[in-house]
Structure 1
Amino acid sequence: MPDPAEAGPISRFPVPPRSELPPDLQERFAAVEERSGFLPNVFAALSWRPAEATAFFAMHDALMDKETPGLSKAERELIVVATSAANDCLYCVIAHGAIARVRARDPYLADQVAVDWRKAPLEARMRAVLEVAMTLAVRPAEVTAEDLAGLRAHGLSTDDVWDVGAIVSFFALSNRLAHWAAIPPNEEFYLMGRVPRP
């Protein structure tokens, strides 16, 4: 794989050569490339601050790489897609839309959620999740205890309810960093989950 520092501009900030990164990040980047066939630009863009990048990816994994009865991995990605669209984050909508398509095995749902989640063909539980997630993303002071109780009434555990808020909050950070650094989506994301892999 080409070194991201030699690719086109992927950040307004420095992008160090892979060889200069700490071993843990080098290993993580290699593993991601092996699985997906490319390195998402956000990895390279954040790598100029290795301690922060390591913490960022640890938080990401803790929130996104698990399945619970109340929130599947695909549904977690849909939360990211909907709230990132509200935050006008092209990178996160495209990247997490791709992951959502793959995880949901649905080539259309992520696009529908990004454009107007209220019209997307979602179950009542997921519609309730996105309603509260969008309130937190757009009008955070308006979130109420009743909103959280409503999620529990739809079968989410207390941990799941926390995860909804943590995902929205974590990706608000991610959205803003992507804007701040002007990180463009990788071209590979656009076709993921839309066409069969060779």
Structure 2
Amino acid sequence: MPKNSRKTKVLQHPTQVATKQNPVAVQEKKTVTNSWLEVPDEATLPPQVQALFQEQRDRYGFVHSFFLGYSLNPEHLLLWFNYYNALMYGKGELSPKEREIIAIVSSAANHCESCVITHKAHLREVIKDPVFPDALARNHQEVELTQRELALVEFAIKINQNANELSPEDLKPLRQVGLSDRAILEAGEIAAQFSLSNRLTKAFGWKVSSEYDKLYR
């Protein structure tokens, strides 16, 4: 790896540290590998990646298959993870619920079941509701959304399904519900990021562990 890879800073999920109050925090080292590509021996990976894997084991009991698969290019994994964390957990105008809603509907639009499962779990953690995320993933028209949430959902779906049809007119509904241009950019970044991660997941068989679907129910 290039020398500067060691300088890559890994941002922390704000709830990534396991605690006694966290029912899914375990210490067992458990790896389930789902990848059509070679997966490196964890002992050969940079310390930042090994630490990231251990954080996931401490929190969930396993390492997400996306991270295992992407570790074949550890420098890119860390760069992606920093960007993903900034989008999903960093400072911004969208709420955690809104960000996870965008993640779910974007992944559903791309037929990425693994990403849908992952972010349904994250949304359950955020809103403490085991029913809403499943219903949202099935059909956003069947759940109760605020006008702001609905505008974000429709924008995210269009980015992932019909981006070539987007025009300035598509921004009007977002502004009408009070979203600033910076918030609209934030929503677009999240939706587009999932276009990337969904396609990587599907291209290389990075199927998520079935254990993920049991979290926070």
TM-score by length of 2: 0.82
Q: Deviations over 1:6-33 (max 9, x none)?
A: x3x4100111121111111111222232
Q: CA deviation at 1:143?
A: 1.7
Q: Secondary structure at the match of 1:88?
A: coil
Alpha-carbon distance in structure 2 between the residues aligned to 1:101 and 1:20: 35
Give the equivalent residue in structure 1 for 2:186. Answer: 163
Taking only the aligned residue pairs, the percentage that are identical comes to 33
Contact 2:123 2:133 in 1 (8 A): yes
Matching residue within 49, 53, 63 for 1:29: 53
In 1, the alpha carbon distance for the partners of 2:66 and 2:115 equals 9
Q: After the TM superposition, which residues 103-118 of structure 1 pair with which residues of structure 2 at under 5 Å, given as runs?
A: 103-118=126-141
Q: Which residue of 2 aligns with 1:73?
A: 96
Separation in 1 of the partners of 2:74 and 2:142?
A: 40
Unaligned runs of 5+ in 2: 1-27
**In 2: Cα distance, 1:32 partner to 1:2 partner:** 10
Q: Show the counterpart of 1:138.
A: 161
* 27, 30, 37: which one aligns with 1:13: 37
Q: Which of 29-38 and 121-130 deviates more?
A: 29-38
SS state at 2:139 partner: helix
Which stretches in structure 1 are left out of the alignment for 5+ residues? Answer: none
- Output the aligned Cα RMSD: 1.6
- Looking at structure 2, the residues matched to 181 and 62 of structure 1 have their Cα atoms a distance apart, in angstroms, of 25
- Note the C-alpha offset of 1:38: 2.4
Is the contact made by 1:67 and 1:73 (CA closer than 8 Å) also made in structure 2? no
Select which of 46, 54, 69 maps to 1:45: 69
Higher helix proportion = 1
Assess if the C-alpha contact under 8 Å between 1:3 and 1:17 holds in 2. Answer: no
User: How far, CA to CA, are the matches of 1:177 and 1:127 in structure 2?
Assistant: 27
Aligned residues: 190
Equivalent residue letter for 1:61: N
* TM-score normalised by L of structure 1: 0.89
Write the distance in 2 (CA, Å) between the matches of 1:25 and 1:157: 36
Contact kept, 8 Å, 2:71 with 2:77, in 1: the verdict is yes
* Corresponding residue of 1:57: 81
Query: Per-residue CA shift, 1:84-140, capped at 9, x if unaligned?
Result: 111110110111111111112111111111111122111111011101111111110
1:149 partnered with 2:176 = no
